[in-house]
Amino acid sequence: SKANEFANSATDIKSLEKNILNFSDFYALKGSTGMVLASGKADSTVMVITEPPGRAEELKSVPYAGEAGVLFTKIFSAVGLSIGGTGERGIYVLPSIPFRLVKSSNSGVSDLDLIKPFIKRHIELLAPKYIVLVGRIPIDILGLSEQLNGQGESDKIGSYNGTPVIEIEGINLMIKSPDRKRKTWNNLKLLRKLMEKERL
């Protein structure tokens, strides 16, 4: 209820981020060294919701750092998209959780539940044409597990309130298991085809 109030009272991205920073009920804040907020241009056509940051990402305030950052940039640049781009060439990157996710001993509401209204409000305010979900956590937060099963190769485009959604593998998972890049590449090609089709 409190999280919903904080999220829904935001009238723009700036006030939404301020409300996230002022929301003190997140369990993980006890061990957090900083928050990673959204990056990229607000007019970007594609919104990418990523995995929670690790310690390196928190310290640098970036969605991915080091080798993971290099891979993240590389896979999107392969389809002509980047954080620095605008419009159809840009991606707006939003961490699903703005801090390191820690396991709570509390059986009550989890940080995944608390962040949900903030993520949903962020999507409403940004109004992207396409959404890319990285790894399982953003899929679970948005309740899209039945649409995007996360197993094997996929050629399916899901939908969130009418907005086309694709999933890609977790970045660190692809580093550990390079063969997992195939699914990501196939789904990003689906995204590119969809974007090109709608441009015609």
> pLDDT tens for residues 40-92?
999 999 999 999 999 899 889 999 999 999 999 999 999 999 999 999 999 99
Burial of 54 (0-12, 13-18, 19+ CB in 10 A): middle
pLDDT, one tens digit per residue, over 69-82 is: 999 999 999 999 99
Q: Distance between CA atoms of 96 and 36, rounded to whole angstroms?
A: 10
Tokens encoding 121: 């409000």
Cβ atoms 36, 28 nearer than 8 A: no
> What was the pLDDT predicted at 40?
96
Q: What average pLDDT does the structure give for the chain?
A: 90
> What was the pLDDT predicted at 68?
96
> What pTM was computed for the model?
0.93
Three-state DSSP at 130 gives strand
Q: What is the mean pLDDT of residues 93-117?
A: 83
DSSP H helical ranges for the chain: 2-8, 13-22, 55-60, 66-77, 111-126, 136-141, 171-176, 181-199
The percentage of the chain sitting over the pLDDT mark of 70, rounded to a whole number, equals 92
pLDDT, one tens digit per residue, over 152-172 is: 455 678 999 999 999 999 999
Q: What is the distance in angstroms between the CA of the first residue and the CA of the last residue of the chain?
A: 44
> What was the pLDDT predicted at 152?
45
The percent helix, strand, coil of the chain (3-state, each to 5) is: 45, 15, 40
